[in-house]
Chains A and B, each alone.
Chain A
Amino acid sequence: MNRALPEMLHCINTPGNVAGSFTDMSVLERQRARIKWQQEQLLNQPPCYFDGNDEFNGYSMPNHAQDFHNLINSEVGLVVKADPGLDNGWQEFGQFGGEGSGLGSSGFVNGSGFELNYGISRTLSCPQEVAAEMEVAAVTETARRESVSPEKMSSAVGRESFKKRKADRNQSLKAVAEEEPNEKRIKECNEEDESKITEEYSNNSKNTTNNDNNIKRETSADTSKDNSKVSEVQKPDYIHVRARRGQATDSHSLAERVRREKISERMKYLQDLVPGCNKITGKAGMLDEIINYVQSLQRQVEFLSMKLAAVNPSLDFNIDSFFAKEVFPASTSNFPIGVQSEITNPAYLQFNPLQQLASCTGLEMGINTPDMALRRTTSTPLSLPETFLNSSCFDVISSTSIVFRISVSMLGTFFLTKVFSHYSKSKPQQLGMEICKTFTIIVEEEGSNDASNLKMEM
């Protein structure tokens, strides 16, 4: 490997191969020079590669094609690393090449996120790939075309097809390297490689929180490339490929695509948020629904403030009194833990001996206080049967916190209706803040019920 490096640099630097100075070369030119050099090496001294095979004996795949592949990849890494005129991106390219060869796993040069996500599937599909490669090495071009197309849907397709492409390259180089369309395609695929890399760098430079997006996009880009490749094999359609590549590499269209994706993501969230919006497809319809929902909410706020203004003659609202009078009876039915510790603590203490009593009191209260139930808000009648249900199988699942909480709330109901009716008569001013807290929690409880109904997931 190391021995091959100066040779190649020399080859590249010689004016016979490449016109112009080395540092002035564009990326594309460098790429071409490299391919040219590889071709020449392949043609002139094929045993060199089989010497190199010894270096890869430690890996689990003794397959010839795989070794060949690895060798080429490691070479790519080395060459690019040793390149004096290289920018940061190419350094990374070399890095990943080195990683690929070092790990012995197919060594396809790609972005880190992609590498990570599809590493598993890749290793799983490795024997198949090897077999496929063998097949590719054996059969003709038409058979290869057939083997590519059914795999279009799988996630590892871009990679596999790329490997096949490389295998193609090997094969074609070994057999007849001077075939014109083949060479063209090699260049094409190398250019694609480049464009992919540039795209990845632009992706990596973006925020890391968009990592998901990027990976997704990469996959789509990969599959699209694969599609284009397939179409190219079937029917050379260069304009189509060019357009796609232009779209991928152009920074403006990239930014535009990112923006559109972000917007559609937010639209998806909105779709989840707005009720009745998840059946509608199309942006206009969704926007309609969102507008309607926002308007209805705003109108509700108007209406409710009007109602409150109409109900209360003074803006004072007499908060303490009406919390004590109206809100609190409703709130005690689903009274949660920890609102008022000095009152719920006795409930905790008497919890075990009063297990049976608790269910009885719950039943009694449910039956004996119809007027209270009538005055309750909508969610409280729903919560009462729940309570009964849980109290009926009380002994079985008494360890779970939900039942514990519900039973405590029942006990709290039992005690608090008395305690508070007494308390609120005596000291309404002191209670004000505590009741306010309680009310808040009740509101939250019911709000969360509503939220689960409305699929509020934000």
Chain B
Amino acid sequence: MHLSLSLSLSLSLSLSTISSLRFWHDFLSHQVKKSAIRMLKQEFLKKWIMGLQICSASKKEMSILERKNAIKLSADLAMASTRNGSTNWSRALIANASKENDNTTLVHQILGKDSESMIKKASNSSAFRDKRGTTCRGKKMLRNRCCGIRRVKKMAASASSIAKKLVKKRTQVLKRLVPGGESMDEFSLMEETLDYILSLRAQVDVMRHFANAAPPN
């Protein structure tokens, strides 16, 4: 009895400390988030400029489209490597970039010393994604055919099923938009989308300032 009492008391005490910590976390999270975004942008700019310098060093004469592609690629890679390969989308992005042969050197140089493991991880995930993607497509086609028949059979579908279909369609679109999204389930897709939007926003901010600052020739 005494043991259980003390146990429960200690449990409640630890829970109360946790809740107070959560309160402080909420209180301070704003500042933390701001500084995190700041760090993100700093990292991104550093890596992007590095990538641009590498690009310019490797090729002297470029057409405008090539230049644009190089800028975009280096920006994407910088963004992905800023996330340090911790998220699915960044890994997928790196994998997609390293697929093309002429980009591999750039990828290696931007990602630095731990590029090998990251690319391995990324290609693993991308292979997985490819496999999943093909099977999914096959299934989807099959299902579509079935749905077509069924749709003919019963025209009046309930409102909830329509809503579900809409959500599903949009989820598919979103999966195509987020790099590496094909292999994700709904929950991780949401998380990755959150992360991706934040990174994209940081990227756009930095690039916009860069572009505004550039001299109009």
Per-position 1/0 for B1-37, Cβ under 8 A of A: 1001101110110011011001000000010011001
Instruction: Tell me the nearest residue of chain B to A74, going by C-beta.
Output: B1
Per-position 1/0 for B199-217, Cβ under 8 A of A: 0111111111111111111
Per-position 1/0 for A351-381, Cβ under 8 A of B: 0000000000000000000000000010000
Q: Are B41 and A443 in contact (CB under 8 A)?
A: yes
Q: Are B8 and A96 in contact (CB under 8 A)?
A: yes
Q: Are B187 and A309 in contact (CB under 8 A)?
A: no
Q: Are A311 and B213 in contact (CB under 8 A)?
A: no
Q: Which residues of B contact A444 (CB under 8 A)?
A: 37-38, 41-42
A293 to B76, CA, bound (A): 17
Q: Are A270 and B193 in contact (CB under 8 A)?
A: yes
Q: How far is the CB of A95 from chain B (nearest CB, A)?
A: 4
Q: Does A52 contact B (CB under 8 A)?
A: no
Q: Are A326 and B215 in contact (CB under 8 A)?
A: yes
| Those of A232-290 within 8 Å (CB) of chain B | 259, 262-263, 266-267, 269-270, 273-274, 282-284, 287-288, 290
| Those of A305-354 within 8 Å (CB) of chain B | 305-317, 319, 322-323, 325-327, 330
Instruction: Tell me the nearest residue of chain B to A458, going by C-beta.
Output: B198
Q: Are A304 and B208 in contact (CB under 8 A)?
A: yes
Most chain A beta-carbon contacts within 10 A, residue among B22, B45, B59: B45
Residue from B70, B163, B171, B190 in contact with A315 in the complex, judged by beta carbons closer than 8 Å:
B70
- Segment touching A, from B109-117, B124-132, B173-181: B173-181
Instruction: Tell me the nearest residue of chain B to A265, going by C-beta.
Output: B190
Q: If A326-B214, A327-B213, A448-B37 touch, does A457 touch B5 (CB 8 Å cutoff)? A: no
Q: Which residues of A contact B186 (CB under 8 A)?
A: 259, 263
Q: Does B170 contact A (CB under 8 A)?
A: yes
A330 to B212, CA, bound (A): 11
Q: If A116-B12, A316-B56, A448-B37 touch, does A266 touch B5 (CB 8 Å cutoff)? A: no
Q: Are B52 and A304 in contact (CB under 8 A)?
A: no
Instruction: Tell me the nearest residue of chain A to B208, going by C-beta.
Output: A304
Q: Which residues of B contact A302 (CB under 8 A)?
A: 72
A116 to B166, CA, bound (A): 42
Main secondary structure of the interface of A (DSSP, over half): helix
Q: Are A116 and B213 in contact (CB under 8 A)?
A: no
A448 to B8, CA, bound (A): 45
Per-position 1/0 for A169-191, Cβ under 8 A of B: 00000000000000000000000
Q: Does A63 contact B (CB under 8 A)?
A: no
Q: Are A315 and B45 in contact (CB under 8 A)?
A: no
Q: How far is the CB of B181 from chain A (nearest CB, A)?
A: 10
A319 to B48, CA, bound (A): 12
A212 to B16, CA, bound (A): 13
Per-position 1/0 for B52-71, Cβ under 8 A of A: 11011001101011011111
Most chain B beta-carbon contacts within 10 A, residue among A274, A297, A322, A457: A297
Q: Does A194 contact B (CB under 8 A)?
A: no
Listed by A's residue number, 17 A-B pairs whose Cβ atoms lie within 8 Å are A81-B4, A112-B11, A112-B15, A267-B190, A269-B194, A288-B170, A293-B197, A295-B177, A301-B204, A305-B71, A307-B211, A311-B216, A317-B214, A377-B212, A439-B213, A442-B209, A447-B205
